[in-house]
Amino acid sequence: MLIVMKSDATEAQVKAVLRVIEELGYRGHPMPGASRTAIGITGNPGAVDPSHFENLPGVSEAVRVSKPYKLVTLDLRSEKTVVQVGDATIGGEELAIIAGPCAIETRDQAFVVAEAVWRSGAKFFRGGAFKPRTSPYAFQGLGEDGLKILEDIRETYGLKIVTEALDEAGVDLVERYADVIQIGARSMQNFTLLRRVGKSRLPVLLKRGLSATLDEWLLAAEYIMAEGNYQIVLCERGIRTFAQHTRNTLDLSAVPAVRRISHLPVIVDPSHGTGKNYMVTPLARAGVAVGSDGLIIEVHAQPDHALCDGAQALTLEQYQQLVNEVRAIHEVIAPAPVS
């Protein structure tokens, strides 16, 4: 059920509706929009009787939701969500660029890349302290020591930190040191983890699972929103197909597909989406051209020596070239308003 308030409904009227929802034992999710507020209802085991709401002051209509998702949908919020991270945004007018190494390996390695990311004008730095590796014998990340390096990078350059949490204990730590919690492709359906980040005050970067359908991905976002965290960025990072010429198949059609259903911002990861250095820039260009709100790019000063995902890492020079190119494309796709 979705309660659509009248355009002139007062805050007190919205609160009164939320009270009724609570009294019924459900949870209300108010989403203020440019013209009106809508309130999503979750926690109801079956259909909600619209007569509870229809005659309340300020209510325009009570609409049954037949789709599997209630909160990620444009029905609830027709304007795009702009995720605000300090003075940076994802989903707004600017193209969000998140760049950095796959893993934080050493302080020097991370700082050299951070300097280049800062110089490029990007606002977000990425780097894993907890790595979800296929092999238990591969480098697993520096853990909290890696987070401390990330915190120092934030302090030095003012970059916003995006880093992955693999489990609930990891979320506690990431919340202490970072600005955006990344949920990796392998964790997209770790439902206890999704619920935990749903309770976080930090925005969540939710990667698409390796074999996730659009519905499964959006329902993963729904898990987070249902707990009250509405600051979510979806990230298309490639899916498993029969193709052998790439690590994954970057499904760029996911960008307009998400746009048609959801108000959440969506970004593209051409690094994991291709797994190959020479394909990252072409697919980054394509991602921006198709309407992505941003890019997440792996960068390493010495890709040959990277402890993780070196084959897809851009050098510092290649990265700067990519930024120049995608900015030019973004300018054509979404020209800055004349002020």
Residues that bind Mn ion (CB under 5 A): 102, 309
3-state secondary structure 88-124: EEECCCCCEEEEECCECCCHHHHHHHHHHHHHCCCCE
Taking the complex as a whole, the smallest distance from the CB of residue 137 to Mn ion amounts, in Å, to 17
207 binds, among Mn ion, ligand PEP, none (CB under 5 to 8 A by kind): ligand PEP
Helix 168-177, helix 144-157: angle, nearest 10? 30
- DSSP calls for 41-106: EE--SSPPPGGGTTTSTTEEEEE---SS-SSSBTTT--SPP-EEETTEEESSSSPEEEEE-SB---
- Tell me, residue by residue from 286 to 305, as one string, x for binding to ligand PEP by CB under 6 A and - for no binding: --------------------
Closer to ligand PEP by Cβ: residue 154 or 272 = 272
Of 95, 98, 272, the residue nearest 180 (C-alpha): 98
- DSSP calls for 116-157: HHHHTT--EEE-BSS---SSTTS----THHHHHHHHHHHHHH
Closer to ligand PEP by Cβ: residue 20 or 210 = 210
Taking the complex as a whole, the smallest distance from the CB of residue 200 to Mn ion amounts, in Å, to 22
The phi-psi region of residue 100 (left if phi > 0; otherwise alpha if psi is between -120 and 50; otherwise beta) is: left
Structure-block tokens of residue 81: 């969500």
Closer to ligand PEP by Cβ: residue 102 or 194 = 102
Structure-block tokens of residue 172: 């506690």
Contact flag: residue 272 with ligand PEP (CB under 6 A): yes
> Could you give the C-alpha distances from 189 to 192, 206, 223, in angstroms and in order?
9, 10, 10
Which residues on neighbouring strands pair with residue 126, listed in sequence order?
Answer: 162
Q: Name residues whose C-beta falls within 8 Å of residue 32's C-beta, 6 or more positions apart in sequence.
A: none
Task: Find out whether 17 and 61 touch, Cβ atoms under 8 Å.
Answer: no
Structure-block tokens of residue 188: 């997209």
Taking the complex as a whole, the smallest distance from the CB of residue 117 to Mn ion amounts, in Å, to 15
52 binds, among ligand PEP, Mn ion, none (CB under 5 to 8 A by kind): none
Q: Which stretch binds ligand PEP (CB under 6 A): 27-35, 181-189, 253-261, 277-285?
A: 181-189
Closer to Mn ion by Cβ: residue 3 or 296 = 296
Contact flag: residue 184 with ligand PEP (CB under 6 A): yes
Name the residue with the smallest CB distance to ligand PEP.
Answer: 184
Q: Which stretch binds ligand PEP (CB under 6 A): 32-40, 75-83, 148-156, 184-192?
A: 184-192
Contact flag: residue 185 with ligand PEP (CB under 6 A): yes
Contact flag: residue 102 with ligand PEP (CB under 6 A): yes
Q: Which of 160, 207, 247, 300 binds ligand PEP (CB under 6 A)?
A: 207
185 binds, among Mn ion, ligand PEP, none (CB under 5 to 8 A by kind): ligand PEP
Size of the site for ligand PEP (CB under 6 A): 9
Closer to ligand PEP by Cβ: residue 17 or 185 = 185
Closer to ligand PEP by Cβ: residue 219 or 296 = 296
Residues that bind ligand PEP (CB under 6 A): 102, 128, 132, 184-186, 207, 237, 272
